[in-house]
Structure 1
Amino acid sequence: MDDIGIQLQESIDTKKALLSTDLNVIRNIADVIIKTFKNNHRIYLIGNGGSAADAQHIAGELVGRFKINRRPLPAVALTTDSSVMTSIANDFGYDTCFTRQVEALITQGDILLAFSTSGNSKGIVNAVKIARTLGAITIGFTGESGGLLKDIADICLKIPSNNTPRIQECHITVGHILCSIVEKELFRQ
């Protein structure tokens, strides 16, 4: 099998391993997101690098639409405002670029969904800690070990892999599943 086939098989195997885990974690996350939207709260999403792109992708699906033409849902990726992020990083250090935004925007009952393949990104961990003190519900999407996020997030989805690309592929797959469940539950079509 060539490199293409190997990588496709790794992706398939990781998703099969995810299918063999406790899928109730995904259902629980969906239920929390649905309840949050029903209570007129927001979901904020964060991540670094490819995980920042995942945060933006899922926010876009919620604000725009996933499969159903419906009203927009309040979701904000805190990874998108380059002026805010670079000014905070410059003035306070990169590890605070999300914490400052969390302090400014999140209120009790909101969700902070944090993508980190290792679960150990200092800036992500710091933001989750601050969000919890503000009364937000915190959700971590990580790799197999869960890193520090598994111990500080209210809910942690651990993808059964240590391979960053495979973890990220599963993160976006689960993100799409969540969007589908949320749309069906809130807009019943």
Structure 2
Amino acid sequence: MEHSSSGRSALGAYLDQSIAVLERTRDAFDHGLVEQAIDRIVDALGADRPLLVCGNGGSAADAEHITGELVGRFLKNRRGLKAISLVSGAATLTAWANDYSYETVFSRQVEAYGRSGGVLLGLSTSGNSPNVVAAFEMARSLGVGTIALTGEGGGKLASLSDVLLAVPSRSTPLIQQAHICLYHYICEHVEARLAGA
């Protein structure tokens, strides 16, 4: 019983930390920054331009999660939306990383799939992931809009982002938890605005 009680206390402390980060995130983005991201994604998808999404590790799983919600459905039955995860093609990723470099596995795909008027959404808790940074540089050169989901400060992605959603924390797990809330909100509102189109 003592172990169970201490487990509940540790869980409570962890959840308190999570809530604190979410509250700081709410306060940081209450002024419409997330709506700017939604507007850019809606404009791109509404014009049949792709939304490209990338990240590493847990953020790679998030990239697939986001595209799954948009290609499939979040809450509404509607047409599929042109969202492409740049982490999903194992053959492309491993061939390019093996023959050239892991640092350019996303930028190469941005070069292949990116279109002027489209959007690249990159997730990096540090904001410094070299392959995400390279993808943003490629996007900029092609006229592709850039949205970053990062941790505090935004790292190198800050100067490469049209919209920077920097969660005010330096704890990777807590940043990722806030990212899920942010992109679920984004998916819900992108879907609601495009469902009738």
Tell me the CA shift for residue 100 of structure 1. 1.0
Q: Percent identity?
A: 43
Gaps of 5+ in 2: 1-7
Q: Distance in 1 between matches of 2:84 and 2:193?
A: 20
Question: TM-score, normalised on structure 2?
Answer: 0.92
Quote how far apart the aligned CAs of 1:67 are. 0.3
Rounded to whole Å, the distance in 2 between the matches of 1:181 and 1:118 is 26
Aligned counterparts of 1:10 and 1:115: Cα–Cα separation in 2: 21
Is the contact made by 2:54 and 2:123 (CA closer than 8 Å) also made in structure 1?
Answer: yes
Q: Indicate whether 1:177 and 2:185 are aligned.
A: yes
Counterpart CA distance in 1 for 2:104 and 2:42 is: 29
The one of 5, 11, 21 equivalent to 1:14 is: 21
Which protein is bigger by CA-based radius of gyration? 2
1:128 corresponding residue in structure 2:
136
- Matched with 2:163 is 155
Corresponding residue for residue 92 of structure 1: 100
1:11-52, CA deviations, whole angstroms, 9 ceiling, x for partnerless residues? 111111111113311011011111111111110000000000
User: CA offset at residue 187 of structure 1?
Assistant: 2.1
For 1:77, the equivalent position in structure 2 comes to 85
Which residue number in structure 1 is paired with residue 121 of structure 2? Answer: 113
Output the CA distance in 2 between the equivalents of 1:177 and 1:133: 29
- TM-score, length-scaled by structure 1: 0.96
Q: Does 1:35 align with 2:35?
A: no
TM-superposition CA deviations, 1:62-97 (whole Å, max 9, x none): 000000011111101000111110111111111011
1:2 to 5, 9, 18: 9
Q: CA RMSD in A?
A: 1.1
Provide structure 1 residue ranges, at least 5 long, that are not aligned to the other structure. Answer: none
2:4: which partner in 1?
none
Q: Deviations over 1:122-169 (max 9, x none)?
A: 111011000110110011110012101011111110001101011111
Q: How many residues align?
A: 188
Of the three residues 88, 96, 101, the one matched with 2:109 is 101
